Amino acid sequence: MTAPVTHNINQVAASPKTPDKISETPLVAILLCTYNGARFIKEQLESIHNQVHNNVKVWASDDGSSDKTIDILRQYHTSWGDEKFNITSGPQKGFAANFLSLTCNPDIQADFFAFADQDDIWQPKKLSQAITQLQAIPASTPALYCARTQLIDEANNKTGYSPLYKRRPSFNNALVQSLASGNSMVMNKAARDILCKVGPLHIASHDWWAYMLVTGVGGIVIYDRHPNVLYRQHDQNVLGAPPGWRASKKRINMLLAGRFKKWNDINIQALQQARELLTPENKAMLDVFSKARSGNILTRVTRLLASGVYRQTIVGRLALIVAAILKKM
C-alpha cells in the first residue's frame, strides 16, 4: 500500500443481517444521508456491516425520499436495533445541509465520525485503515482522513480511479479545491467539534467545508493514496469524480459559467463566519485570496500568485489563473 500524504498540524444480501457483537474498539458514528436511494442503499449498508472495524452506529438522515428508501432503512433499524441504527429527518435543503445537520447533531456522540453516501460500497478495511492513522494523532488535534476512490458504474464494474493528488493537503489548497470526496472521509472528535462550533451554515459542499475548516484551524489532513471506497458514478450523482479529458472539459465549462466563482462566494462567506477559529497565517491568506478576486487583470493575477493558493495539478493551476483573468474566481 502506498504511504498516505500527511500535512502536519467501496453480493448484496437478500435481507439485513444482524451485526456481530460490538468489539472493544473506538465507536464510529456513520453519518449516512439519503434521498431516493433505494436502488443501491442495501449494498452500502451491507458493506458497512462487513467492516473489519464493527463498533459502529449508523445515523441515517433522509431528506424526503419518495421511493422505498425509508422502508429499507426501517428494515435495517428493526434488524440492527437502536444501539446500531438511528433514522432521522433531514432539513430538505440539499445534500450539504443534510450532512451538516447530522454532523452538528448533539445527540450523536462517538470517537470518530465517517460520512457515508447512499450509493457506494465500502471495502472491508475502510474504517480500520482510517482509524489506525487517525489514532496516531493526538486526540486534541483536529484530524481528518480522506482517500482516493475506485470508481464503479451502476453494475459495479470498475471504471477507473479518482485523481491521484501528490501535493500536500493544506489551507492553501483547500481555498480553491476540494481534495477528496466525502464518502472517503473519517474525522476525529476534535475535528467534528470544530465543525459543530461553527454550526450548520450555508456551504458549497460538506466535504470541501470539512477540508477547509480543519486545515484552516491548523489541524491535520491525511490523504491516503490507496482507495478503500467503491465510488458509484451514475446519472443521479449530485457530484461526481470521473477522470480524464471529459471531466476536465466539464470543469472548464463550469468555470466559464461562473460556478467556481459562486462556490468561492459561498465558501469565503462561511470562512468569515469561522474567522476567529482560523490561525493568524490562514486569516491573512484568506484576506489576500479574497482581494485577488477583485481589481484589474494585473492586480487579480498578482494577488492570486501572492496568496499562495494552489490546485493539485498543472491543468488546475492554469485554470485558476484563467479564472482570475476572466474574473470567474
Q: Which CATH number is 105's domain given?
A: 3.90.550.10
Element at 69 (helix H, strand E): helix 69-80
Query: Domain tally for the chain?
Result: 2
- The answer as to whether 240 is a domain residue is no
Do 81 and 138 lie in one domain? The reply is: yes
Instruction: List CB contacts of 42: < 8 A, sequence separation 6 or more.
Output: 12, 13, 16, 72
Pairing status of strand 56-62 against strand 150-152? unpaired
Q: Which of 200, 232, 264 is the last residue of a domain?
A: 232
262 and 307 in a common domain: yes
What pLDDT sits at residue 251? 64
Closest CA to 232 of 5, 8, 37: 37
Residues 117, 192 within the same domain: yes
Assigned domain for 65 exists: yes
Residue ending a domain, among 201, 232, 263, is 232
Tell me the residue range of the domain where 40 lies. 5-232
Query: Does the residue 239 lie in any domain?
Result: no
* Same domain? 219 vs 249: no
pLDDT confidence of residue 36 = 97
Looking at the structure, do residues 203 and 315 belong to the same domain, yes or no?
Answer: no
pLDDT for the residue 245 = 52
Q: Are residues 220 and 258 in the same domain?
A: no
> Distance between CA atoms of 73 and 123, rounded to whole angstroms?
21
Residues 166, 194 contacting (CB under 8 angstroms):
no
257 assigned to some structural domain:
yes
Q: For the chain, how many residues are written?
A: 329
pLDDT at 259: 87
228 & 250 share domain: no
Same domain, 127 and 195: yes
pLDDT at position 253 is 73
The residue among 193, 211, 232 that closes a domain is 232
Q: What is the residue whose three cell numbers read 451502476?
A: 154
Give the per-residue pLDDT at 14: 35
CB contact burial 219-239 (16+ within 10 A = b; e otherwise): bbbbbbeebbbbbbeeeeeee
pLDDT, tens digit only, all 329 positions of the chain: 444 444 433 233 333 444 443 346 899 999 999 999 999 999 999 999 999 999 999 999 999 999 999 999 999 999 999 999 999 999 999 999 999 999 999 999 999 999 999 999 999 999 999 999 999 999 999 999 999 999 999 999 999 999 999 999 999 999 999 999 999 999 999 999 999 999 999 999 999 999 999 999 999 999 999 999 999 997 655 455 555 556 666 666 776 678 899 999 999 999 999 999 999 999 999 999 999 999 999 999 999 999 999 999 998 899 899 999 999 98
Same domain, 274 and 192: no
Same domain, 203 and 120: yes
pTM of structure? 0.89
86 assigned to some structural domain: yes
Do 38 and 181 fall into the same domain?
yes
Residue 28 and residue 172 in one domain: yes
